[in-house]
Structure formats: C-alpha cells, structure tokens
Structure 1
Amino acid sequence: MKATRQQAVTGLSLYDRTAEDAAAAVISRYSTSFGLACRMLGARPRPHVRNVYALARVADEVVDGPAQEAGLSPHETAAVLDQLERECFAAIDRGFSTNLVLHAFARTARECGIGADLITPFFASMRADLEVTSHDAASHDEYVYGSAEVIGLMCLQVFVNAGSRHPVDPAPRLVDGARRLGAAFQDVNFLRDLDDDRSRLGRDYLGLSTPAGDRAAVLDRIDADLGAAAAVIPELPADCRRAVTAAHDLFAELARRLRASEGGPKRVRVPDTVKARLAARAMLGFAPKEVRA
C-alpha cells in the first residue's frame, strides 16, 4: 500500500505538493501568529493562504535587509525585486516555476483569480521601500494599499474561490472589510516596529517623527478599521471565519496594548497564553471581539 501511494504522487502532483510544503515552511519560520491562523483555516483555503503569504514574505525580505546582508547594492536589490515580479507573472502564465514559492503562488493565483490588479500594487509598495524613507499621509495610504490591503484582497479571493472552477468577484462589503483589516494589521505592525524601522531601516511610515505626527490618531484609525472588518467577518465562508476572527482579535489585543504602552521603547507583544485564549475563543465560534478605544 505504501509503495502504491508513493507511486501515485509523482510528476507535477508531487512538485505541486512540494511547492506548497515550501510555502508552509516559510510561514512557520517567519510568523507564529499567521502560522497559527493558517492552521485554523479549513483544508480548502489553507494551502492557498500560505502560498500568498509566502510570496509576500519573500518579497519583503528582499527589501528589508537579507539582500543587503548578502552584499547586494541598492541597485542590485532593486534588480532582484524586479526579476521576482517578472518571474511571478511568468509562473502564472506558464503554470510552472523552478522557484517553489512562486510555483505555489502561481497555482493559487490561477485557481482563485488573483491578477495583475493586485500583484502589481504589491510589488510597487515593495519597491517603495527601496526609494522612500519618510511617508506623508498620501504615500502612506498608497504604500499600505499595496503592501497590506491587496494581501487581504488576495486572501479574500482565496476564501471565495478556492476549489471552484470559475473565480467570481467577492461582494463589495467583503472587499471593504478585507482592505480595512489589512490596513489595520499593517498600521499595528508599523507602531510595533517603529524604533526598528527608524534605526535599522531608516524608514518612517507613519510620519510620527514630524510635528504633525499623531500616535493617538493612528490608533483611532486602527480601531475603526478593525471594527469595520469585524462587522463582515461573519459573512465569510464557514471554513475561513474562525481563522480570520483569531487574527482580528490578536491584532485588536495588540492595538489595545499599544495604546496602553504610550509609545514606550519595548516592542509590544501578546503573551502566548493570551494568544491561545483568543484562538480557543475563535475556534468555539464566537464573533470577533468588540474594539474599544
């Protein structure tokens, strides 16, 4: 029986499965929180969400230090990012890539209807990290759309279309919720990593180093975005709701702790025991937690 099973999984099927395993390994190495949320997804969307986040993480690593540590100049780093984008579209067109993460993402993009309208803004925001060090309100919004909101929209495409033969457009309310949840996640991360972004990467995403900077206003925006997203999570497919609820509640807890910290130097985190409690609450089917300023 074992030999028969091994013989059945060969060729492209084996390659596809290996690519998905590679994507899963990327997430498990880089994000315990998203790794936990992915495990709470149903079997239908789970590998596709991992494929989306794996590509996002690889691109993010190109611009956030590892390429520089490997000795690449800024010009060479930009060229690597450009090549990754070209190879991404080529993989989608061909249905195959020698880059396992790209191969996995391309399978998801083809099945779930993720196109250039979402992929191009993502790479534009990654490219901005090589060119822009200080953001104003307009460039912040543009950056967050490409770096985070489109990731939420890609995941929404997965939630709605994974396993179907013909991808459809998600409902507008779900689109708005996905965008706002992605924006909230990104702004929370900006606040958590404020000191590291400034000292190590020389970036200011929120404009808080300027006289017009307003940390409380950023937190208010996060709470509003989390509240809007929470209202539509119950409308997601059943095999996605628990995972998205857990992720929402984790970031709501981070936002609450960030507000209480008043911008201290210590990076805010949620203890593992609290993460486990939030995950258990979501698994039991509770609605997303109410966000209060």
Structure 2
Amino acid sequence: MAALKWIKMSLFLVLMLQFTATAGQHLSLFTIKGHDVTLPCENVIPGQHNCDITDWLFDNSNNRPVVELIKLGQIGLNVGSKSDRLSVTSNCSLVIKNVTDEDVGVYTCRQLKPGQREKYFDINLSVVKIIHYEVDETVTLFCYVLTYGQCRYTVEWVNTSPDMKTSSYLCSTSVKFTTSHVDQKSEFYKLLKCKVRHVDTKEEKLFSFSHQTSDEDSTKEINTSSGFPYLLRCIVVSLGLAALVISVVTVNIWTRIKGNQNQKEENTVHNDEDVGTVNYENIGEPSVSFQLR
C-alpha cells in the first residue's frame, strides 16, 4: 500500500513539473493567431520624442540571438519581413499586426536615457491556435496555446453538448462531433468557444473557430511534427517520465520482495536445521526473525 501511494505521488510530481515556472517580473499576454496585439511598455520614461530612447528586443529561443525589433524608436535593421507588421505608438507600446506562430516569445522594452541606469520590462506573448480537422463524418477541433517556456495556461471548450467528446490536456483541448451538428445549426461554430485562462494572472478569454484563425492546411499541420500541438508533445514527455518512474519503483519493489523471500527461505532452512535443539522452555516466545507486524 505504501509503495502504491509512492507511485501516485511520483506521477503527481512528474505532472506538476510541467506547470512549474521561473519566478520573475514580467507581463504575460495571449491572443489568437491572425489578430493584432499591443504590447505596453510599463517602464517607459516620459518626455521622449518619438520614443527616441526606447528599444524593443525579441527572444524566442535560447539557440538564437536576440533581435532588436525597435532601435531608438525606429524599426530595427535585422527584422526582415516582420518589419511590415510592426509599429510603435505615441506611448512607446509595440504593435504587432496579424500575429503568427513566429511571434511567440519574450519582448523586452528597454529604456536607454543617458546618465540613468537602463530599465527593462518583459512581456511573454503566447498565441492561441484553433485547427479544424475532418475525417469522413467526424470533425475534430483542436485549440491550443503556443507559448515560450513552460505552459501556464488551461484550455477548454465551452458550450458543448453531451454527445460531443472533449479531451483536455496541458495547454490544449480537443472536441469531436459529427458533421450533422454543423448541418443542423448554422451558428454552430460561433456558439462553440475555446476558453483560455492564465493560471497566474487568472485572465481568461473566449475564442471562436473561423477559417481566418485556422491554418489553411490544418490536416498537414496535425500530421507533421513541426505543427503538432505543444500539449501533445508535453503528454508524450510526461508519459515517458511517468513510465521511467514506474519502472524504477517497480524494480525497487521487486528487489525488496525478492530479498524478503530469500530472507524467509534462509530463516526456514536455519530453523529446520536447528529443530532438534529447540529449547522447549521458550516455545511461547517467537524468534525475533519471525515477529511480523
């Protein structure tokens, strides 16, 4: 029984590892793919002229260099095709139009006033995606969050009916239904909502499926590893870790049981060999080796 409790606790700890985040002062924002988003610069120094002491930096991978999106209020030199979607407001906020997967990451507003210490403010931007997948007469909608680092979101479908099959995982959810639902209800997709909630800030938003927010070739995305939902990859990792923990615990338990059996066998043989010399005066006092509690 104790071993079973230990296994359950180990599995619980493995799953909790997915939710552990590094503490820090930053803002977390999320929006759906294809929408525009405004990233505020909370540490902006007042009195600037066209944000001439403001930089915006972008980091989306530990293996890639940080990109200067905005340098002293102007579009950076190495922004590439993303430059057409960027702009800076009068209060030095960063506007990103038509958000894509590549926009997921950490944005840093840096203030560079001469004679003062540099100021930084980080924003972790995540992107919500909804994918439509249809096989025969079964429709599946995936809703998941692409995020930088570890997932800090819960995702679920709302306004579903009892005959729909929903599944929720880490940072993702899916719902399955037949095409008859769509045929019978012209407003079906508008009623069905994906609710995304940040576990720390408690901010939540509802998103509806539309062909504008879903990939054009969703079937290809689901069937390729590059587009496979982040959640499902986390599930595979979690199950792999859980299997490893169970294997270690099982071997440990088996070793203990085998050791106890061998000890009992040795004690039994020893008792048989000494049966002719048993002290009958102490027959009411069991040997210490056989005191079981």
Q: TM-score, normalised by structure 1?
A: 0.25
The structure whose residues are more often helix, as a share, is 1
Greater relative contact order (CA < 8 Å, ≥ 6 in sequence) = 1
